[in-house]
Structure 1
Amino acid sequence: MRISTLTMYNLSVSSMNQQQAAFNKVSQQIASGKRVVSLADDPQALTQALGVRQAQALGEQYASARVGVENALAQEENALNSVTDIYSRAKTLLVQASSESLADADRSAIASELTGLYDALLGVANTRNADGRYLFGGYQDDTAPFIKDAGGAVQFVGSKQVREQQVDGNRRMAMGHNGAEVFSRVHGSAGYGVEAAMENQGAARFGTITINNPDHANFGQAYSIEFVEQAGELGYSVNGGAVQAYQQPMQIALDGIELELSGTPVAGDRFNVAPGDALNTNMFTTFERAIAVLNQPSNTESARATRANQLRSGLQQLDHGLDNVLTTRAEVGARLNELETLEVMGGTRKLSQAQTLSDLVDLNYAEASAEYSLRIVGLQAAQKSFMSIQDMSLFKLL
């Protein structure tokens, strides 16, 4: 079979082009350090690599979100630490003010320090974070979460919804707590408390609460003890029930608990007995009542009883509030620990993804070097073969 000169030239040129393309491909791989440079190199590997890169990008977003949540929780932890100090100092002051040996001027001085603590507590409650948002305001950013109403009492007006961040594939985490959870909540484990009605006129004082039977069918109920006059005798009724004789001091039985009462009440006086979360839970109100009663003169037995009752209630409420803050701090600590665990897991996952990506697209330089040398030899052989074909032309003999 006769092969034309044109065919031999075309075959030689095609062979050189193929060798040149293979050489260029290896050169490009060595220059880039990547085995897969284009989709044609390895479609399956490149598709898998794109999936890994998307997972890496998502992991970086989660890592950034974890940093933001960690910063917010760390700032909340600092704020809660300040609240703990304020409550502890307030408790110390209320214990001092409960002493009957103090003069009214001494109690006014204590009230002044309590006022300073009250203002400091309000400042902490309205703290802003690094982004300028209110730390305990929830979703509300335009106004402070705690403001004073027309009567001068501090109320929570923020949002009870808390911002959350996606910190991992299947985990959303709250960036803190709203103000109502911190300053107006009592932990469910809080025991019984007592509050004397602010309008009481008598000299009755409440004492200790003794739990005799926590398994009683009605244990955990709230009670209102109201003093009434019947047939010229002073008695009391519980939750509007039958009137019973009162003699002081005495222990009033209330379905598994007993309340100690002493002093002489008057008709209309009332004491409320209930679990801590069913009484006053607003810690600002606790401060306001304590400051008000300490600034009142105590020149009558009724005034002294009112002061003693309010201070005792205030101490109970501060105990409950402190327990709630410590519980909240424990929640913050648990979240910070979880973030640390997620960060370690994220770092491990990041290394694994990097290794997978490297296995898919990175170049094996030893193999590439050998391939590079082989392609040079192939290209040179094709070029020499072409030159030999040129020498076979009959025109050289003319």
Structure 2
Amino acid sequence: MRISTVTMFDQSVSSLNRQQSDFMHLSQQLATGRRVVNPSDDPQAASRAVSVSQAQAVTQQYTDARVSARNALSQEESVLNSVSDALASAKTLVIQAANGTLSDADRQSIASDLRGIYETMIGQANATDGNGRYLFGGYADGSEPFKDSGSGIEYAGADQVRKQQVDASRKMPVGDTGADIFTSVPSGAGYVAEQGSTNAGSVTFAGPDVVDTADAGYGERYRVAFGGTADAPTYSVEVDDGSGNWVSAGAAFEDQPFAADGTTVEVGGLRFELEGEPVAGDTVVFGPADEMNTNVFTTFEKVLAVLEAPADTPAQQATLENTLNGAMRELDASLDNVLTKRASVGARLNELDVIDSVSGNRELNYAQTMSDLVDLDYNQAISEYSLRQVGMQAAQQAFIGIRDLSLFNYL
């Protein structure tokens, strides 16, 4: 079989081109550090790499979301820490103000300090996150959540909070509403008492104290209503029927004689101590803390009102004592609530740490899988590179030999 010179040249050139192409492809792999430079290098690995890359992108989005959630919760935790300190300081001042030896001037001095705490609390309740959004406004975070309605500071924000998707199966609240923090108390926070707003007598109270949680009436809201005459005062105990109406707590609690030097009332598993001189129409209401005043700002306002007013008459002194006694319990309940919310924020921050740990392991697995699919084995690639280089040099030398095979060289 006769092989023409053209055929030999074509085959040599084809061999050189093939060797050069393989050499250049290997050079690209070494330069990029990837075994799969083009999808055609390994279609199956390239397809799986796309899926892994998408999973990595989603994981990174969740990581960024957790950073945002952690920042929001950390800011809230810092504010709640300040609020709990303020409530503890307020409780200390109220205890100090309850000292019967203080003069009106002394109480007004305490009221000045307490008003400073009150203003600080309002500022904390209307704190922003640095981007103009109010921390405790819920969805309505574009305006102040707490405003003066004319009758006191009230919540004007939303009842729902923003949630953030921090992982594939976890959507986490990244805040709490102001209503949950400043106008709520935890269930089981105990009992609170307060005198009627129109009381004209000098009756003071102590308690209520729990004596029997198994009593059928335990957990209800009660009212002691005074009647009779100045010489023979009486009292009746009424219970809230659930619709805001007061009905008799029973025949045994109707028109009972009242002793000014001390009367003990036991109803619904509670014990209540009363003393002083009532006026017909005076009332004292006591019930679970979460069914009484739960607005911490209202508590401050009541205390400030009695501390800044004179306490010269027995009725004024009774109002002062009763208001301060009730305020102590309300501040305790509010502080418990803030600490509970702060613990909830801490739990969510801990959960973010756990999710970060799990996500970190997931990212390592993705990175390892991606490396196995597309990354280059440098030891193998360098060996093959050297081999290809030798092969290409051999092909070049062979072409030189074929090129010189001409009869004209021997004429």
TM over 0.5: yes
Tell me what 2:25 maps to. 25
Q: Structure 2 CA distance, aligned partners of 1:318 and 1:52?
A: 54
Equivalent pairs, count = 396
After superposition, residues 158-237 of structure 1 pair within 5 angstroms as 158-229=157-228, 234-237=234-237
1:244 aligns with one of 235, 240, 255: 255
How many angstroms does 1:78 deviate by?
1.7
> 1:156-180, CA deviations, whole angstroms, 9 ceiling, x for partnerless residues?
1112222222222222222221111
Verify the 8 A CA contact 2:227 2:255 in the aligned structure 1. Answer: no
Letter in 1 for 2:156: V
Verify the 8 A CA contact 1:206 1:260 in the aligned structure 2. Answer: yes
Q: Structure 2 CA distance, aligned partners of 1:233 and 1:116?
A: 42
Q: Structure 2 CA distance, aligned partners of 1:143 and 1:312?
A: 35
Letter in 1 for 2:135: L
Secondary structure class of the residue paired with 2:159: coil
After superposition, residues 1-398 of structure 1 pair within 5 angstroms as 1-151=1-151, 153-229=152-228, 234-239=234-239, 240-241=247-248, 242=251, 243-248=254-259, 249-392=262-405
Q: Structure 2 CA distance, aligned partners of 1:368 and 1:167?
A: 41
Q: Structure 2 CA distance, aligned partners of 1:21 and 1:285?
A: 83
> 1:14-34, CA deviations, whole angstroms, 9 ceiling, x for partnerless residues?
322222211111111111111
RMSD between superposed Cα atoms in Å: 2.0
Q: Structure 2 CA distance, aligned partners of 1:234 and 1:23?
A: 109
Segments of structure 2 that go 5 or more residues without pairing to the other structure are 240-246
Secondary structure class of the residue paired with 2:278: coil
Letter in 1 for 2:296: M
Letter in 1 for 2:221: A
How many angstroms does 1:55 deviate by?
2.2
Letter in 1 for 2:385: Y
Q: Structure 2 CA distance, aligned partners of 1:303 and 1:325?
A: 32
Verify the 8 A CA contact 1:236 1:246 in the aligned structure 2. Answer: no
TM-score normalised by L of structure 2: 0.90
Letter in 2 for 1:73: L
Secondary structure class of the residue paired with 1:228: strand
Q: Structure 2 CA distance, aligned partners of 1:283 and 1:324?
A: 11
Letter in 2 for 1:382: A
How many angstroms does 1:9 deviate by?
3.7
Letter in 1 for 2:52: V
> 1:248-301, CA deviations, whole angstroms, 9 ceiling, x for partnerless residues?
222222221221211222222222221110000000000000000112221211
Q: Structure 2 CA distance, aligned partners of 1:381 and 1:164?
A: 68
Verify the 8 A CA contact 2:208 2:286 in the aligned structure 1. Answer: no
Verify the 8 A CA contact 1:197 1:272 in the aligned structure 2. Answer: yes
Letter in 2 for 1:84: S
- Identify the range of structure 1 (159-168 vs 109-118) with the bigger mean alpha-carbon deviation: 159-168
Letter in 1 for 2:206: G
Percent pairwise identity: 47
> 1:111-155, CA deviations, whole angstroms, 9 ceiling, x for partnerless residues?
12111111111111111112221121222233211111123x111
Segments of structure 1 that go 5 or more residues without pairing to the other structure are none
How many angstroms does 1:348 deviate by?
2.7
- Identify the range of structure 1 (368-377 vs 388-397) with the bigger mean alpha-carbon deviation: 388-397
Letter in 2 for 1:246: P
How many angstroms does 1:10 deviate by?
3.4
- Identify the range of structure 1 (262-271 vs 343-352) with the bigger mean alpha-carbon deviation: 343-352
Secondary structure class of the residue paired with 2:41: coil
Q: Structure 2 CA distance, aligned partners of 1:82 and 1:118?
A: 12
How many angstroms does 1:3 deviate by?
4.5
Verify the 8 A CA contact 2:84 2:335 in the aligned structure 1. Answer: yes
Q: Structure 2 CA distance, aligned partners of 1:339 and 1:142?
A: 26
Letter in 2 for 1:296: A
Letter in 1 for 2:255: Q
